[in-house]
């Protein structure tokens, strides 16, 4: 396995842990500052690196099993896992992006959220926002600020001169940007991991293929040598198949090891026939 592949596979889990911590920080800020970002979106972003790590292990197993064949092929389970993760990351990135731009839509959502907190007299949430951002009210220091009253004494009591609308909007954009960052980096990390695993599987398969071929060639040579040696032993022992003969007597004579195996010359019967024809012709002339 190449050195860069090992480094990438070792640093991948560390990056996933770092991304989980970043998403967890954004989730805590969204809850503490009562930002108009769905907490479910933040929670799904927190578990995204964990799901990616688990699915990457599954993808690694699928790739290793597939790479044992002659030609690697994308299987249906592998495509299903990759497709599900791609949809997951796309949804998170899209929803997070809507909480970053445009600013006019953000101001409307923030105003609605602040009004909801003010109507329910949520002292804890409004106090947390004003104390964390060092501000009072929403559009002005007297606009629906805590302590509640007409007019509010927040600016006088805490010595603050800025409203919370601008700082609260920036806090929403920052935390939504962290969620977007986690989704994008997880996608890039997953893509790099899959490409690394595919490259590693192809590299291992190409390294192991020549060794299999050499083993097959050596076995063929051994079989040929064994065949030649068997043929030589048969020739030495004399256990050679006898040729086919029409004459059984000649076959029996050839099977006797003490007699000569040279071909026998038999007298032809044509001479006797010619003598008989000659005698008949001579008898005809005399008569």
pLDDT of 116-170, one tens digit each? 999 999 999 999 999 999 999 999 998 999 888 777 788 888 999 999 999 999 9
Q: Are 139 and 107 in contact (CB under 8 A)?
A: no
pLDDT of residue 65: 63
Instruction: Look at residue 254 and tell me whether its pLDDT is greater than 60.
Output: no
Q: What is the DSSP letter of 140?
A: S
Q: Tens digits of per-residue pLDDT, 35-69?
A: 999 999 999 999 999 988 888 777 666 666 655 55
pLDDT bin (cut points 50, 70, 90) of residue 28 is very high
Could you give the percent of the chain with pLDDT greater than 70?
A: 60
The pTM of this model reads 0.65
Q: How confident is the model at residue 215 (pLDDT cuts 50, 70, 90)?
A: very low
Reported confidence tier of residue 91, pLDDT bands at 50, 70, 90: very high
Residues 6+ apart with CB under 8 A from 63: 72, 78, 194, 197, 198, 201
The answer to whether 201 and 5 have CB atoms below 8 angstroms apart is no
- What is the 3-state composition of the chain as percent helix, strand, coil, each rounded to the nearest 5? 75, 0, 25
Q: What per-residue string of b and e applies to 199-226 under the rule 16 or more CB within 10 Å gives b?
A: ebbeeeeeeeeeeeeeeeeeeeeeeeee
**CA neighbor of 179 nearest in space, from 50, 65, 46, 52:** 46
Q: What is the predicted pLDDT for the residue at 237?
A: 57
Taking residue 250's Cβ as centre, other Cβ atoms within 10 Å add up to 13
- What pLDDT sits at residue 150? 78
pLDDT for 235 equals 56
Q: Is 269 exposed, middle or buried (0-12, 13-18, 19+ CB in 10 A)?
A: exposed
Q: Is the pLDDT of residue 202 over 80?
A: no
The mean pLDDT of 7-31, rounded to a whole number, is 88
Look at residue 162 in the predicted model and tell me its pLDDT: 93
- 162 or 10, which is more confident: 162
Neighbouring CB atoms inside 10 A of 30's CB total: 24
With tokens 């690697």, the residue in question is 72
CA 104 – CA 83 distance, rounded (Å): 34
């Amino acid at each position: 396995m190449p050195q860069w592949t090992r480094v990438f596979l070792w640093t991948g889990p560390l990056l996933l842990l770092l991304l989980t911590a970043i998403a967890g920080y954004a989730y805590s800020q969204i809850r503490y500052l009562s930002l108009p970002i769905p907490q479910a979106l933040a929670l799904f972003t927190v578990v995204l690196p964990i799901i990616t790590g688990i699915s990457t292990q599954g993808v690694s197993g699928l790739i290793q099993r597939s790479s044992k064949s002659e030609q690697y092929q994308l299987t249906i389970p592998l495509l299903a896992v990759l497709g599900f993760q791609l949809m997951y990351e796309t949804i998170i990135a899209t929803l997070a992006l809507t909480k970053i731009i445009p600013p006019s839509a953000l101001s409307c959502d923030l105003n609605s959220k602040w009004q909801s907190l003010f109507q329910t007299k949520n002292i804890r949430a409004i106090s947390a926002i004003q104390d964390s951002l060092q501000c009072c009210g929403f559009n002005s220091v007297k606009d629906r600020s805590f302590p509640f009253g007409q007019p509010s004494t927040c600016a006088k009591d805490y010595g603050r001169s800025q409203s919370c609308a601008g700082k609260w909007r920036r806090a929403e954009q920052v935390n939504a940007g962290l969620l977007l960052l986690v989704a994008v980096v997880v996608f890039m990390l997953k893509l790099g991991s899959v490409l690394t695993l595919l490259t590693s599987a192809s590299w291992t398969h190409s390294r192991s293929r020549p060794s299999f071929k050499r083993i097959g060639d050596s076995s063929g040579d051994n079989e040929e040598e064994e065949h030649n040696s068997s043929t030589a032993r048969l020739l030495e022992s004399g256990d050679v198949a006898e040729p086919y003969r029409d004459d059984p007597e000649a076959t029996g004579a050839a099977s006797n090891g003490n007699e000569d195996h040279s071909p026998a010359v038999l007298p032809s019967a044509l001479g006797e026939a010619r003598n008989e024809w000659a005698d008949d012709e001579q008898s005809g002339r005399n008569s």
